[in-house]
Amino acid sequence: MTTTISLPATRPPALDLDARLALANLAMDDRLAHAGLAVDVNSVHVPTDPLPEITIPNLPQPAAPCPYRTPIAITLWQAHRILGERGWCQGALSDEQGAVCLMEAVQLAAPGSDLVHSSIRLLLEVIRREFRDTQSVPHWNDHHGTSFLAFRFLDQAAELAHTRNQ
């Protein structure tokens, strides 16, 4: 005859918060270790040769329409566009790379000499607001000018011409 002894069913002791967090931490460490191994195994076949260089050609941008309707404002806006396309230079009307100074940009933009003089006069007025001792546009271009200011002064002069209906 076999005798079975049955013990009363007891629950395991309840775990406090720190013990449960420690167990969760161990479980997460195990899962992260397995995931890291899976990444290592799955990425073994990836070739380590450098990828070929991809170059995107410079596509021509459509020209923005001129926002002005007055002749001097249009001339100064076109001078800004010419300066942006060709680049800005100092010490000469143009350089070997084709960059131009402010004076040359206005001359290339103006269809007639009367517009050149009027545009330069208005541009000089705008420049003298910040550089009071400026003698002429070429003087400012060669001694005080920067490309950023050249573009800014052309914009301000075009806006002034538009405001004055010139």
DSSP state of 132: T
pTM of the entire structure? 0.62
pLDDT in tens, the chain (166 residues): 566 777 666 777 788 989 889 999 999 999 999 998 888 887 776 566 676 777 777 666 677 888 999 999 999 999 999 999 999 999 899 899 999 999 999 999 987 778 999 999 999 999 999 999 999 999 999 988 788 899 999 999 999 999 999 8
Q: Is 155 exposed, middle or buried (0-12, 13-18, 19+ CB in 10 A)?
A: middle
Nearest Cα residue to 151 out of 95, 86, 69? 86
Nearest Cα residue to 81 out of 51, 118, 109? 109
DSSP state of 53: P
Nearest Cα residue to 82 out of 61, 102, 59? 102
- Quote the CA–CA distance of 100 and 87 in Å, as a whole number: 6
